[in-house]
């Protein structure tokens, strides 16, 4: 199976293209702002192959806003999301999707629910859906077992950015549990919401420990982030550490 990460543009999530011998899919769609460009980028990877389905890691606009347009271009291929996110997408709810914070409409789209543990077989590889609530109740990640890789969605915005839990349906304690579940998987790599992949077991463990430790401190502080941290921008679905956390793996002293 071939895996291609299309880096997020501006507010967009990464779009991950999975190409197998028995099917192709993408994980997340980005916003509706660059949806036509996303189609060109996807076509540049797929060539003559068809896109068969879209998997969404959550309902937030940076991950789901372009799903309808991309689906329609590829012969109305099905859009999958956790059952808790279906109503938001099918009604075009711009509050729980956070589209209102981007001064954007939320294109309504029909969806199919994904269950925890559901498998998508691509022939020479498979994708397993994992329910990981915390950022939102519908947050999911997608495990590619033969690569020991996790497409993490908003659970991990970037190595150096912890996610928010104070948006609609978020839950701080769920977030800690979800990150601990990911840590137990002993992954080789993680593709976050935005930015470069987190590669190598040592780096993955370092990043997960940093995020878990931060959220555990927030639990102990009754959900309050450090006073030195700036208030998130209205479009941000992550917190911004101060001083900055490292993005890349630290060099040995």
Segment 49-102, tens digit of pLDDT = 999 999 999 999 999 999 999 999 999 999 999 999 999 999 999 999 999 999
Domain enclosing residue 35, as ranges? 2-220
Is position 23 within any domain? yes
Among candidate residues 130, 126, 156, 132, the one with its CA nearest the CA of residue 144: 126
Task: Please tell me the predicted confidence (pLDDT) of residue 251.
Answer: 59
Give the residue, 112 or 234, on which the prediction is more confident: 112
Q: Is residue 183 part of a domain?
A: yes
Q: How far is CA 250 from CA 159, 163, 199, 206, 207, in A?
A: 12, 21, 12, 9, 10
In which band, very low, low, confident or very high, does the pLDDT at 253 lie, cut at 50, 70 and 90? Answer: very low
Residue 112 lies in a domain: yes
Class of residue 146 by CB neighbours under 10 A (exposed 0-12, middle 13-18, buried 19+): exposed
Query: Per residue in 179-229, pLDDT tens?
Result: 999 999 999 999 999 999 999 999 999 999 999 999 999 999 999 999 999
Domain of 10: which CATH number?
3.60.15.10
Q: Residue 29 forms beta bridges with which residues?
A: none
Domain annotation covers residue 240: no
> Does residue 252 register a pLDDT over 80?
no
| E-state strands within the chain | 2-6, 15-20, 23-27, 53-55, 79-82, 112-114, 119-121, 126-131, 140-144, 149-153, 189-192, 198-199
235 in any annotated domain: no
160: its two tokens:
């150096």
At residue 152, φ and ψ (nearest 5 deg) are -95, -15
Write out pLDDT tens, residues 127-161. 999 999 999 999 999 999 999 999 999 999 999 99
Q: So what's the pLDDT on residue 249? A: 81
Establish if 118 belongs to a structural domain. Answer: yes
> What's the structural domain count of the chain?
1
Percent of the chain beyond pLDDT 90?
Answer: 96
Query: Which residue has 């950022």 as its token pair?
Result: 135
The answer as to whether 245 is a domain residue is no
Pick from 44, 45, 41, 47: nearest CA to 18: 45
| Segment among 27-31, 34-38, 165-169, 245-249 with least mean pLDDT | 245-249
Closest among 95, 91, 86, 93 to 58, alpha carbons compared: 86
Is the distance from CB of 62 to CB of 31 less than 8 angstroms? Answer: yes
Q: CB 99: neighbour CB atoms within 10 A?
A: 24
Q: Domain for residue 241, yes or no? A: no
């Amino acid at each position: 199976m071939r895996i291609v990460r299309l880096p997020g543009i501006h507010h967009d999530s990464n779009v991950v293209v999975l190409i197998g011998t028995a099917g192709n899919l993408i994980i997340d769609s980005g916003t509706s702002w660059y949806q036509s460009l996303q189609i060109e980028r996807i076509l540049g990877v797929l060539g003559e192959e068809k896109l068969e389905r879209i998997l969404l890691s959550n309902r937030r606009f940076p991950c789901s806003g372009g799903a309808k347009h991309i689906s329609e271009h590829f012969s109305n291929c099905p859009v999958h999301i956790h059952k808790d996110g279906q109503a938001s997408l099918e009604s075009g709810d711009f509050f729980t999707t956070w589209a209102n914070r981007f001064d954007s409409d939320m294109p309504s789209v029909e969806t199919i629910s994904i269950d925890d543990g559901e498998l998508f077989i691509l022939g020479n590889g498979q994708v397993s859906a994992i329910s990981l609530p915390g950022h939102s109740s519908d947050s999911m990640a997608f495990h590619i077992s033969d690569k020991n890789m996790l497409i993490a969605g908003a659970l991990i915005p970037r190595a150096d950015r912890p996610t928010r839990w104070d948006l609609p349906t978020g839950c701080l304690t769920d977030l800690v549990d979800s990150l601990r579940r990911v840590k137990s998987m002993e992954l080789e790599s993680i593709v976050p919401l935005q930015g470069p992949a987190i590669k190598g077991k040592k780096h993955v463990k370092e990043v997960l420990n940093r995020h878990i430790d931060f959220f555990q401190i927030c639990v102990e502080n009754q959900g309050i982030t450090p006073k030195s941290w700036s208030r998130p921008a209205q479009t941000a679905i992550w917190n911004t550490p101060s001083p900055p956390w490292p993005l890349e793996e630290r060099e040995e002293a």
